[in-house]
Amino acid sequence: MAELLFIRPMDDSAASLSAAIGARIIRHIQSHLPDWNFFSVNDLSGSANASRASVDAALEQDHKHLFYFGHGTVSSLVANGEALIDETNLRALPDSAVVVAVACRSAAGLGAASRGVVRAYLGWIDALPIPHLHPQPMLAALFDGLATLFQGATVDICEQKLKREFAEAYRAYRDWEPPASVGEGGKLYATMAPAFAEYCLRVMGDRSAVL
């Protein structure tokens, strides 16, 4: 069985948008039970449950893979100013682990440091923008791309699927007719968000890794 650790702090509105993707993935897994009973999910959601102490305690259990949805820095995955995942406790995962960090910037440092520690790390080297006034195209792109991992796809195939979905999101934002209050600047930001997310997406480690 593949024990999956989901961390979804939801410590602000932006992190809550990211966490919604994780929640949808969990529902997706549950909807395929018992056919997908080889996945077991431990979901640390909300600031009260997603603390450094609770994350460290969870990592002491036999989790095979890690999915994080929230904020990131170059060197860590953070909530409420606290590093929940960094180079130190990342080592508690098995070297066969796949780490997916739906967060800004962590692939630039933490992802690079994960080489030789976990099997693969999928994340972003800079910002992962999700337009809060119209998040649905980006949320759908992230879900549809990541969902392939639960159907046996490698992280390489997942990355390629994410890029195709970001292209679809770009077209959706391009054709979006926002309310006047959004303005041209708001629509431009939304339209460019998928392209920037695609540009910053990285896979570190073994591209043939699967869950």
| Separation CA 16–CA 187 (nearest Å) | 22
The pLDDT-based confidence of 37 (bands split at 50, 70, 90) is confident
SS3 label, residue 29: helix
Domains of the chain, CATH where assigned: 2-205 (3.40.50.1460)
Interval 3-26 mean pLDDT: 96
| Separation CA 101–CA 63 (nearest Å) | 16
The pLDDT-based confidence of 45 (bands split at 50, 70, 90) is very high
Per-residue burial over 150-189, b if 16 or more Cβ lie within 10 Å, else e, is beebbbbbbbebbbebbeebbebbeebeeeeebeeebbeb
| Separation CA 157–CA 171 (nearest Å) | 22
Cis bond upstream, residue 34 (ω within 30)? yes
- The type of residue at 160 is Q
The pLDDT-based confidence of 34 (bands split at 50, 70, 90) is confident
The pLDDT-based confidence of 25 (bands split at 50, 70, 90) is very high
| Dihedrals phi, psi of 19, to nearest 5 degrees | -60, -30
Name the pTM for this structure. Answer: 0.96
The pLDDT-based confidence of 1 (bands split at 50, 70, 90) is low
How do residues 63-109 score in pLDDT, each as one tens digit?
Answer: 999 999 999 999 999 999 999 999 999 999 999 999 999 999 999 99
Give the pLDDT of residue 33: 75
Give the pLDDT of residue 79: 97
